Amino acid sequence: MEIAILVLSFIILVAIRVPVAWSIGISSLLTIIISVKTIPAFTTIAQRVVTGLDSFSLLAIPFFILAGHIMNKGGIAKRLIAFAKAIVGSLPGGLAHVNIVAAMLFGAIAGSAGAAAAAIGGFMSSQMEKEGYNKEYGVAVNVTSATTGLLIPPSNIFIIYSLASGGVSIGALFLAGYLPGLLTGFMLMVVAYIWAKRKGYPTANKSSFNLLLKTFIGAVPSLFLLIVVIGGIVAGIFTATEASSVAVLYCILLSLLYKEVQLKDFKTIFVESTVTISVVMLLIAMSLAMSWVMSYENIPQMVTDSLLALSDNKWVVLIIINLILLFIGIFMDMTPAVLIFTPIFLPVVTAMGIDPVHFGIIMVLNLCIGLCTPPVGAVLFIGVGVADTTIQKVIKPLLPLFLAMLVALVIITIFPEISLWLPGLFDLV
Amino acid sequence: MRFKLNTFLEWTLAILLALMIIDVLWGVLTRYLLNAQSSWTDELARYFLIWIGMLGAAYASGKNLHIAIDLISATLSIKNLKRLTVFIALLISVFVFLIFIIGGSRYVYIAFKLGQLSPALHIPMGIVYSIFPLSGLIIIYFKLNDLAMLFSQKLNPSEWK
């Protein structure tokens, strides 16, 4: 009964264009009000919202968003694109590969798919059009590679997963993301290669060693940030929050050094970051309230029981969960989806002997695919907006890339070693 | 008024964000360089985050930035779209009134009554939580202002979320 009210009211609210964050809050309220008296129910939800935000690990989220904005304006994104171009620009359909590699590098540092899609897409789409690429194909490449960057650390979504799962190590999740992220990126590049061959897209000349060296040196300070952040977290020197604050300081200093921004530009950067942060924080607050309502109503237990009643085969359950997550990812943004569904599915999968770190990777990749699913994926919207085209036109070139991501998801689900090998080397799983 | 309030929130949020980053960096600095972390930095940063989260929710409401999935506005007539928009604004206002203002005020009241103080800085927790009903008031103001603009034809419902 409670479950039906929660799910139905949420779907109806989202469908009639109530903002997702408010839909989450309102459907939670409708659910809790059945079993708790009104005034205490209001106070309890208020309390869950405030105490939910009162968390030191959540601080990493605004900081990584801020770092991403500074990189975008401060010339860091530009240098990463130049480096990517020197490495893969000479493959057939080179600019598509440049986009994929740049998004993986940038997403890896900024920790946000939206930021990567906007930063890289804005820069690449005009170049690709100039060289005769189909614009919609450019958008398809941009959105799929931007979401892939989420798997590569540092990634805000793993911090959220760590919080929602009740403390899976952030260091382990970060390391676990590398190989699946590279694998997914590689799959996208295979599709881009075949597509370029068939469409006869241009192949640029091989970049000279000098250019490679020059762009590499240009990118070193940005790449060094990764070593500081990931190295610091894995080695236990920093918490993720401390690392993210150091990342902000580093990006400020670097962009001042590059002389691409002046002190007064930071006002704009801070305000723009504030916009992104504001939207994300309300989603987080409302999702935490919904997650609490669900556990109060015993919904995770019910889902566990019914899933286990369907099958006690690990693979069948994983396939069902994967399908549910793919469906959810289509109409729910990643952050609320992870906060709400981790507490529901994690007990089921751990009972079946699946490692929580491995499940985190499966879940994130799954929802990444959702972010670029037509008609409503959030990153798809950003990519289409940046290139000034429509979602309908993007669907056709998107399809093969989308399939590549699905294949990567299947491989990563079947072989936990891909996720767990690297953190295992550091004794983190 | 609306414009001024938005600009005020924008500045406040940007400054809070800057203070928050300085605070956490100070914590890192004292921990690694002076080997004695100030006890208050973590606590203060968390309270900054509550304020940023709540005021940010209000700011994003004022600018209609909260993400909505638009599947139906193309299928509705202008008249029905307007009705729907009014309904959504009222729905959000009611929710915010119940949770942010009634629930939030009670939560603040309880914190004051119990005399809760923060562990390191000894700030009354009621002050920290008071941002909750306050942002609620701002959100409701924005939503009612949306309605007023909608009825005076200054706002196009298809642009509204």
pLDDT tens-place string over residues B131-146: 999 999 999 999 999 8
Chain A, 170-189: which have a CB under 8 Å from a chain B CB?
none
Give A375's contacts in chain B (Cβ within 8 Å).
Answer: 71
Locate the chain A residue with the closest alpha carbon to B13. Answer: A274
pLDDT of residue B161: 47
**Is A236 an interface residue toward B (CB < 8 Å)?**
no
Task: Pick the closest to residue B44 from B102, B123, B112, B100 (CA basis).
Answer: B123
Give A47's contacts in chain B (Cβ within 8 Å).
Answer: 103, 107
Q: Read off the tokens for A415.
A: 């072989």
Locate the chain B residue with the closest alpha carbon to A38. Answer: B98
Question: Contact A59/B20, CB-based, under 8 Å?
Answer: yes
Contacts of A33 (CB under 8 A, 6+ apart): A41
**Is B22 an interface residue toward A (CB < 8 Å)?**
no
CB nearest to B52's CB, from A62, A245, A279: A62
What residue type is assigned to position B61 of the chain? S
**Inter-residue contact A152 to A177 (CB < 8 Å):** yes
Query: Residues of chain B whose pLDDT is less than 70?
Result: 154-161
What residue type is assigned to position A71 of the chain? M
Task: Pick the closest to residue B160 from A85, A107, A16 (CA basis).
Answer: A16
CB nearest to B56's CB, from A66, A270, A278: A278
Give A282's contacts in chain B (Cβ within 8 Å).
Answer: 53, 56-57, 60, 66
Query: Residues of chain A whose pLDDT is less than 50?
Result: none
pLDDT of residue B53: 93
Residues β-bridged to residue A303: none
Give B13's contacts in chain A (Cβ within 8 Å).
Answer: 271, 274, 277-278
Give B103's contacts in chain A (Cβ within 8 Å).
Answer: 39, 41-47
pTM of the model: 0.88
pLDDT of residue A102: 86
ipTM metric: 0.92
Give A62's contacts in chain B (Cβ within 8 Å).
Answer: 17, 20, 49, 52
| Cα dihedral A50→A54→A58→A61 (10° resolution) | 60
Closest-CA distance of chain A to residue B161, Å:
7
**Rounded to whole angstroms, how far apart are CA atoms B144 and B5?**
14
pLDDT of residue B68: 77
CB nearest to B57's CB, from A45, A59, A282: A282
Chain B, 65-124: which have a CB under 8 Å from a chain A CB?
65-73, 84, 88, 91-92, 95, 98-100, 102-104, 106-107, 110
Give A56's contacts in chain B (Cβ within 8 Å).
Answer: 42, 45-46
> What sign results for the dihedral spanned by CA atoms A406, A410, A413, A415?
negative
Q: Read off the tokens for A219.
A: 């990118």
